[in-house]
Amino acid sequence: AQSVTQPDIHITVSEGASLELRCNYSYGATPYLFWYVQSPGQGLQLLLKYFSGDTLVQGIKGFEAEFKRSQSSFNLRKPSVHWSDAAEYFCAASPNRDDKIIFGKGTRLHILP
Amino acid sequence: NAGVMQNPRHLVRRRGQEARLRCSPMKGHSHVYWYRQLPEEGLKFMVYLQKENIIDESGMPKERFSAEFPKEGPSILRIQQVVRGDSAAYFCASSPPRGSDTEAFFGQGTRLTVV
C-alpha cells in the first residue's frame, strides 16, 4: 500500500543548529513529493516539492530537501534553525500532480533558545 | 488571486446536528480534495471531486458524510448527525485541471467542535 513514514514524532534542536527531518515513502513508482509546514491552529504551507529533475530541491524559508531513490527518502534540511521554525512538518506524496496526496503523521519541531 | 477559501473557520455543533463545511477553490481550479486532521495526527484523505463528479471517495466514512462540488458555487462537505468523534480540522485543497504544472493548494481549514 502507498504510504509516507515520518519516523520522528518530536524533534528538539537549539536555535542556530542544523536540522534534518526524515521522510520515507512506499510507492510502486517514484511519486511526487512534498513538505508542508503547519503552525498551531493554522493551515498548511508548502515548503517545497519534487516532481523530477535535480534531486536537491530548494524551498522557502531556507529549507531544502534531497530525494534519494535508493533509500526511498525525501529528508528535509535547514542549516540553521530560527525560533520561528517551531511548527509541525508534514511530508507528503502523490502518484502524480493531481491525484490525492498522502501525508505522513508529522514531526513536531521544538526550538530551544 | 485569492487562495483557497474555507468557511466557516470555526464551527460548533451539538451532537445530532448537521455540519456544512464550504470550500471555494482558487480561480481556475477545477479539482477539490477534502482532508480531515484529528488532534495530534496527520491529514487523512477523504474525497476528491471535480465539478459535478466524485472521482475518489475511498477515504469517506460510509455513513453520515457526503461531499459535492456543483457546477456553480463552492464545494460542500456535509456531516449529518454529528458525533463527538467528528471533532477535527477539515482541510480543503484545490488544483487546476490535469496536466497543469502546479500542485494543490490548501485552505486554512474549518475546525469543527461537537459538544
Q: What's the whole-number mean pLDDT along residues B29-55?
A: 91
Cβ-nearest to A105 among B31, B33, B41 = B41
Q: What's the whole-number mean pLDDT along residues A27-55?
A: 89
In the predicted model, is pLDDT for residue B102 greater than 70? Answer: no
In this predicted structure, what is the pLDDT of residue A52? 85
Count the helix, strand and coil residues of chain A and give each as a percent rounded to the nearest 5.
Answer: 10, 50, 40
In this predicted structure, what is the pLDDT of residue B80? 98
DSSP B24-86: EPPTT--EEEEEEE-TTS-EEEEEEEETTEEEE-TTS-SSSEEEE--SSS-EEEEE-S--GGG
Cβ-nearest to B56 among A90, A97, A100 = A100
In the predicted model, is pLDDT for residue B107 greater than 80? Answer: yes
Q: What's the whole-number mean pLDDT along residues B75-89?
A: 97
Q: pLDDT tens for residues A53-103?
A: 899 999 999 999 999 999 999 999 999 999 999 999 999 998 876 678 899
Task: State the nearest Cα–Cα gap between B109 and chain A, in angstroms.
Answer: 6
